[in-house]
Structures are given as C-alpha cells and as structure tokens.
Amino acid sequence: SQKIEQNSEALNIQEGKTATLTCNYTNYSPAYLQWYRQDPGRGPVFLLLIRENEKEKRKERLKVTFDTTLKQSLFHITASQPADSATYLCALHTGGFKTIFGAGTRLFVKA
C-alpha cells in the first residue's frame, strides 16, 4: 500500500543547531514533493517544493533534498530559532488532483 512516513517522535534541538526532518514514502512516484509548516489550529503554510528531477532546493535557512532512488526527502533548518517550533508536514503530489500528506513531525527548538 502507499505510505508516507515521517518521524513520529518530536524532535528537540537547541537553538542555533541544524534540525533535520525525514520523509520516506513507498509505492508512490511523485511528480514533486512539498514541505509545509503547521502551527496548532492553523492551516498548513507552504515552505518549499522540489521536483523529481531536482536533488536539492534551498530557501534562506531551509534546505530540502529529494532522493527518488531511496524514496526519501530530508528537510533541514539551519541556525534554528525558537520561532521555528512547529509541525512540519511532507506532502507528495501524485500527478493527479490530490496532495497526500504525511503525519508530520513536531519540532521544538529550545532557547
């Protein structure tokens, strides 16, 4: 069956360190993969998109990698700040008219 897996346990890191979140998928061939941030009680907010023919994408302190062989994406936040604390969702766009979300990983950045 098709599945998206993200770290189910919360990630706790110290301010200034790099946070790395993992998204693994099976039985999908996504056209592209997205990362969203979600704060409690609010809608997900788009952060980055990476296409199947791209290995890496950067935006300010954010970096996403996409390995279609391993079926994995890594999401990095460098120089993390307490304001980065949120749930981060990985989402696959299957080429049809739907985006499938992972369960998300909660990130806590301690000052």
CB-nearer residue toward another protein: 15 or 60: 60
Query: Taking the complex as a whole, how short is the minimal distance between the CB of residue 2 and another protein, in angstroms?
Result: 12
Distances (CA, A) of 46 to 2, 12, 18, 88, 90: 23, 22, 20, 10, 10
Rounded distance between C-alpha atoms, residue 29 and residue 82, angstroms: 35
> Using CA of residue 39, residue 61, residue 14, residue 4, what is the dihedral sign?
positive
Query: Taking the complex as a whole, how short is the minimal distance between the CB of residue 38 and another protein, in angstroms?
Result: 8
CB-nearer residue toward another protein: 13 or 100: 100
CB-nearer residue toward another protein: 40 or 69: 40
State the residues that interact with another protein by CB under 8 A.
31-32, 34, 41-46, 49, 89, 93, 96-104
